[in-house]
Amino acid sequence: MNRLAPIDAAFLYMETPSSPMHVTGVIILDPSTMHGGYSFDAIRDMLSTRIHLLPPYRRRLLTVPFHVNDPVFIEDPDFDIDNHVRRMAVPPPGGREELGEIIGDIAGRALDRGKPLWETTVVEGSADGTVALICKVHHACIDGVTGADLMSQLFDLEPDAPAPPPPEEEWVPDRVPSDLELLAEGGRDRLLDPLRGLRGIGRLGATVVRTASSALGRDGDERAPALPFTAPKTKFTGALTQHRSVAFGQADFEDLHVVKKVFDVKINDVVLAACTLALRRYLEEHDDLPDKPLISMEPVSVHGEGTQEGTNQVSSMAVRLPVQLDDPVDQLLEIREDTKASKEMHNAIGADVLRDLTQFAPPVLFNRAMRLYSSMGLASHHRPVQNLVISNVPGPPIPLYCAGARVVAVYPFGPLIEGAGINITVLSNMGNMDFGVIGCTETAPDLWDLADHFGRAVKELRAAADAVAAG
C-alpha cells in the first residue's frame, strides 16, 4: 500500500463532474507496417505484454474513511486488461472532425475510480486508413514528463522489434485492506506527521513574502510579471460544463526553429506567439477580442529542482499573451520579455509552491470547496484567474512504432480547470510539432478554426523570419 503524495492527491481533490483531472494522448498509427496486417488483438497483446513496464496501470485507488488522510494505491487483485482496452469505429466519412467528436466524448468522461485510473480506446475506420489509440490516464498518476516516459514504453524503434523481456519477478497483487485498516493506517501516518499542515502554512507564508519582495523590489524600468486575477474576461473564461470539444493538427518544427534562431528567442516563446496570433484571429471572429493581454498559465516541470514527493513534479507560471497587438513579430518580442519576467518570478518563488498549497487545507475541505465552486458556477462571477492553459511537452525526435504500426502523430490534450475553458498542449514529435486543443463546448466553439489558425500562425512567423534573414 502506497500513500499518494499531497500534490498527486490534489489532482483527485480538484476533480469535479465538470472538470475531470485526466490527461489524454491520441496516438495516430499507420498499420501498413504491421507484420501480417492490422489486428486489434495485436495492439491489445502489446499492452498486455508491457503492463509490467507501466506501474500505474495495475494500481487501484482506495479512499481512506472520513478522509483522515490522503488515498492510497494498491496493486489491484482484480486487475483485468479487458476492463481498460476498448474498440470502436469512427463514423462515416471517417475524417478528423468525426475522430475529434470521439476524442471529446472520451476526454469529457471521468475515469472509474473503482479500477486502475487509465483506459485505452482503439478507434478504427478512419478514411485515411490510420488507427487511433486514445490513451487516458489520471493526472494523479502522471505529469508531463512521467507521461512521456510512460508513453515511450509503448513504442519501439523498429516495426518488427521483439517483445520486451518478461519481468524478473512475478507480479504479486495486494490484499484489499478493510476500511478499519485504512482508517488505522491513515490515522497513524497523520499522527506521525501532525504538523504537515502547519509546515505548509509556514512555507506558503514564506512564498507570499518572496513573491511580494520580488515584485516590489523591481526597478521602475523592469517589467512586472503576469499575475493571477489580472486576466480579461472572454466568452471561454467562465464555469465549465461536462461537454468537451477538441481539435488537433501538426506544424513543421523546422519553421519554429528558424523563427527561434532569427529572433533570438526560445522555442517556447515561438509556441506562445503562435498561440497568441491564433487566439487573436479566433477572438476577432467571435467578436470577443479584449484590449489587454490574455493570461496563460503554463505548467513548468521541476523534476530535480525542489523537494516535492510524488509523481507530479510540476510548478506553474503566468504569461501574458498580447492579443491586443496585431503584428506577429511584435507579439513574439513582447512574449520574449514577458517570459523572462515570469521565469524570474518563478525562480524567486521556488519549485515547491504547489506542494505547499496542497498542504494548506485538509483534503476533505479542499474537495468540497472545489465541488461547491464548480456546482455554483462561481468562475463566471469574478475576474478570471487565467484565460487558458498552454503546455509544451518534449517528445521523441526519431521514428517510432507501436505494435509494429508506424507512429504518425501524437496529439496531447490536458485537463480543463474552472475559469479557463481552453487548453492548448503541444508536443515535439519526429520533426513536427503536434498540438491538441480542448475546450468546453458551450463556451469555446469552433475549435477547428482555432487549430487551423495555429498552423497558419506558425507559417506567418516563419515568413517574417525569412524576410528578416533576407535583409
CB 75 within 8 A of CB 51: no
Catalytic residue among 139, 243, 257, 381: 139
Give dist(CA 340, CA 261) in Å, integer: 17
Cell numbers of 404, please? 509494429
SS3 content of the chain, % helix, strand, coil (to 5): 40, 20, 40
pLDDT digits (tens, 9 = 90+) for 372-420: 999 999 999 888 999 999 999 888 889 999 999 999 999 999 999 999 9
Q: Please give the pLDDT value at position 54.
A: 94
Q: Please give the pLDDT value at position 434.
A: 97
Q: Compute how many other C-beta atoms are within 10 angstroms of the C-beta atom of residue 362.
A: 14
Cell numbers of 11, please? 489532482
More confident of the two residues 67 and 352: 67
- Whether the pLDDT of residue 364 is over 50: the answer is yes
Cell numbers of 447, please? 475549435
- Whether the pLDDT of residue 219 is over 90: the answer is no
Domains in the chain with CATH codes: 2-188 (3.30.559.10), 226-390+423-469 (3.30.559.30)
Q: Please give the pLDDT value at position 143.
A: 83
pLDDT category at 353 given cuts 50, 70, 90 is low
Query: ∠ CA(177), CA(179), CA(183), 5° rounding?
Result: 100
More confident of the two residues 122 and 299: 122
Q: Please give the pLDDT value at position 347.
A: 61
pLDDT digits (tens, 9 = 90+) for 2-19: 999 888 998 999 999 999
Q: Please give the pLDDT value at position 32.
A: 97
Q: Is 139 a catalytic residue?
A: yes
CB 15 within 8 A of CB 49: no
Give dist(CA 24, CA 28) in Å, integer: 13
H and E: helices and strands count for the chain: 12, 15
CB 252 within 8 A of CB 325: no
**Quick one: CA dihedral 389, 27, 446, 254, positive or negative?**
positive
Q: What integer best gives the mean pLDDT of the chain?
A: 89
Query: ∠ CA(302), CA(436), CA(309), 5° rounding?
Result: 20
| Rg of the chain taking only CA atoms, in angstroms | 23
Percentage of the residues of the chain whose pLDDT score is greater than 70: 88
Q: How many CA atoms, within 13 angstroms, populate the side-chain half-sphere of residue 347?
A: 6
Cα distances from 152 to residues 66, 77, 237, in angstroms, run 38, 26, 34
pLDDT category at 308 given cuts 50, 70, 90 is low
Give dist(CA 297, CA 317) in Å, integer: 6
pLDDT category at 218 given cuts 50, 70, 90 is low
pLDDT digits (tens, 9 = 90+) for 135-156: 999 999 988 777 777 888 899 9
CB 241 within 8 A of CB 18: yes
Q: Please compute the mean of the pLDDT values over residues 181-203 and round it to a whole number.
A: 71
pLDDT digits (tens, 9 = 90+) for 26-66: 999 999 999 999 999 999 999 999 999 999 999 999 999 98
pLDDT category at 341 given cuts 50, 70, 90 is confident
Angle between helices 328-349 and 267-285 (to 10 degrees): 120
Q: What is the 3-state secondary structure (H, E, C) of 283-333?
A: HHHCCCCCCCCEEEEEEEECCCCCCCCCCCCEEEEEEEECCCCCCHHHHHH
Q: Please give the pLDDT value at position 171.
A: 95
CB 155 within 8 A of CB 407: yes
pLDDT digits (tens, 9 = 90+) for 430-460: 899 999 999 999 999 999 999 999 999 999 9
Residues 6+ apart with CB under 8 A from 356: 200, 203, 204, 207
Cell numbers of 399, please? 521514428
pLDDT digits (tens, 9 = 90+) for 228-279: 889 999 999 999 999 999 999 999 999 999 999 999 999 999 999 999 999 9
The alpha carbon of residue 111 and the mean position of all alpha carbons in its chain are separated, in whole angstroms, by 16
Query: ∠ CA(25), CA(435), CA(349), 5° rounding?
Result: 90
- Whether the pLDDT of residue 209 is over 50: the answer is no
